[in-house]
Amino acid sequence: MGEWFVKDGAYNANASIRDYLKSLIKSVAVSFILTFVILVIAALLLCFTDFPEKYTLPSAIAATVLGVLAGSYGAARKNQDRRILSALILGLFYSILAYLIGCLIQGKLMISSNTGLFTAIVMATAAIGGILAGRPVKPKSKYKGGSNIFSDRFKKSATGGYKFGKSS
């Protein structure tokens, strides 16, 4: 595990692992905060509008997916060498913490098919976030592609106006 964290020829496994875990915990926190914000917005929509209550479960799943996707993308971007593994570790931490929070709120430990489904959704979303983090980012430059057939025909004339046709 220590060979993941060799930087600049120096080997300091404890500090590197500590930094890695710190960034991973920050990503988990971002995931939970984003999930919570989306759940609050969905709850307000359900409470104060005519939005049907049958969308409670889909909104909870969407909040979880968006939160985990954002967190796993961030965790994978911070550790490009092991981006899928970082994203999956984030998904595992998220699942365990969400399960523990749910058990505390309900006051009992219980594992059901919904627990397995939730974990599967979180892990699949985390893997997708890790995969998306590996895609190269397009540079933010001016658009230079496309056809210049029309632009060749529509040129500024010598008198300062525009003319349509072949330029001289």
Rounded Cα gap, residues 141 and 83, in angstroms: 27
3-state secondary structure of 24: helix
Q: Does the pLDDT of residue 101 top 60, yes or no?
A: yes
Answer with the residue of higher pLDDT: 52 or 132.
132
Residue 155: pLDDT band by 50, 70, 90 thresholds?
low
Q: Does the pLDDT of residue 13 top 90, yes or no?
A: no
| pLDDT on residue 41 | 93
| pLDDT on residue 110 | 87
| pLDDT on residue 14 | 61
Residue 64: pLDDT band by 50, 70, 90 thresholds?
very high
Phi, psi of 91 (to 5 degrees): -60, -40
Q: Which domain holds residue 51?
A: 2-164
| pLDDT on residue 119 | 93
Q: Does the pLDDT of residue 31 top 60, yes or no?
A: yes
Residue 66: pLDDT band by 50, 70, 90 thresholds?
very high
| pLDDT on residue 45 | 87
Mean pLDDT of 10-32: 80
Q: Which of 80, 83, 85, 86 is nearest to 28 (CA)?
A: 86
| Mean predicted lDDT score pLDDT of the chain | 81
| pLDDT on residue 49 | 87
| pLDDT on residue 129 | 93
Q: How many domains does the chain have?
A: 1
Residue 154: pLDDT band by 50, 70, 90 thresholds?
low
Q: Does the pLDDT of residue 17 top 80, yes or no?
A: yes
**C-beta of residue 68 within 8 angstroms of C-beta of residue 108:** no
Residue 149 Ramachandran class (φ > 0 left, ψ -120 to 50 alpha, else beta)? alpha
